[in-house]
Amino acid sequence: MRTKSVDLGNLMQRTLKNPISCSGVGLHSGAHIKLSLHPADINTGIVFECLHAASGHGFIPVTHDCVVDRQLCTKIGNSHGASIATVEHLMAALRGMQIDNVLVRVDGPEIPAMDGSSSPFVFLIECAGIIEQNAPRKVIKIHETIRYKDEERSAVLSPAEGFFIDFEIHFPTKQIAHQHFGIQITEETFKYEISRARTFGFLQDVEYLRSIGLAQGGSLENAIVISNGKVMNDGGLRYKDEFVRHKVLDSVGDLYMAGYQIEGHLWAYKAGHEVNSALLQELFANPDSWSLEEAVERDDKVAATSVPVTKLVGVA
């Protein structure tokens, strides 16, 4: 039996029903930050407003060329010097919950870390409520395969009906080692299979990161911390493969920096913010490889089939 697809969610644009706010500590800055989300008109897209004096005032519309730094997070900025860091977990929640138009106001240098995942932002969106708008959603439909590869990492974006991610990671510690996760991103799968996966790091790296101004607010409350091959957090992991699921979460957020939902299949090997951003740059440098189209109903497709790491390396 064939059913109508729900992988692009509602076919109409969506925004929040009510404004809502939260506050928390910045993962890298250590600053106490207030964040608020506000409804926005059709075709507004995702727009950040920077209210932090040291980071410059101004609006930053989300587009593929607004990314200004990718060191351990995704940082956006505008031509007037305004910038906001660590936007990827919030962006992932907005994409996962099918929010097209929203104003994000931030009074600090970055988005608060909350618990290191997208789950608190999903909860925030659900509490605000979601409303359908009187305009069709626009999506970036991939027509030709786009590739990015450096010495060890690679990412491939290929045509597909829906949004799929297959991700491979390798770390030289038995706690992580080799993990692969493949999934079709829908509102339901994002909320229950991806959004709760937390960012992670190694205790031996903390001193160096803090010496270069990063991880000032990092703690067991907002990250998985690994020491001597063991997870230090009370309660352990939320998923047995939480590490690779968080990499999928980051990719959902980073690819939403395109400014529209992408209809395609991401194959990623050891990728991170730098690779995700570079892949988007390759995409927009090849305008014949994609088109901006209105979302339409179509027959559903089965979830992506897992592939071995050797194949991922080969296609990249």
Residues 120 and 189 placed together within one structural domain of the fold: no
* Lowest mean pLDDT, pick from 13-17, 66-70, 205-209, 303-307: 303-307
Residues 102 and 16 placed together within one structural domain of the fold: yes
Long-range contacts of residues 37-41, Cβ cutoff 8 Å, at least 24 apart: 37/102, 37/103, 37/104, 37/105, 37/124, 37/125, 37/128, 38/102, 38/103, 38/104, 38/105, 39/15, 39/101, 39/102, 39/103, 39/131, 40/15, 40/101, 40/102, 40/103, 41/15, 41/101, 41/133
Q: Which residue has the higher pLDDT, 204 or 100?
A: 100
Tell me the average pLDDT of the chain: 89
* Lowest mean pLDDT, pick from 42-46, 69-73, 99-103: 69-73
The answer to whether 273 is a known catalytic residue is yes
Residues 199 and 241 placed together within one structural domain of the fold: yes
Domain count, the chain: 2
CA 258 to chain centre: 11
Residues 197 and 214 placed together within one structural domain of the fold: yes
Average pLDDT over residues 116-140: 97
For residue 148, give its domain range.
Answer: 138-315
Model confidence band, residue 298 (pLDDT cutoffs 50, 70, 90)? low
Candidate list 28, 89, 246, 273, residue with the active-site label: 273
Residues 144 and 277 placed together within one structural domain of the fold: yes
Q: What is the pTM of this model?
A: 0.90
Task: Give pLDDT tens digits for 245-261.
Answer: 999 999 999 999 999 99
Residues 151 and 297 placed together within one structural domain of the fold: yes
Max Cα–Cα distance, the chain, nearest Å: 58
Query: Are the CB atoms for 183 and 193 separated by under 8 Å?
Result: yes
Residues 143 and 125 placed together within one structural domain of the fold: no
Residue 2 within any structural domain of the chain: no
Average pLDDT over residues 279-285: 97
| Rounded distance between C-alpha atoms, residue 266 and residue 180, angstroms | 13
* Lowest mean pLDDT, pick from 30-39, 103-112, 189-198, 302-311: 302-311
Q: Which residue has the higher pLDDT, 79 or 141?
A: 141
| Rounded distance between C-alpha atoms, residue 74 and residue 72, angstroms | 7
| Rounded distance between C-alpha atoms, residue 4 and residue 123, angstroms | 27
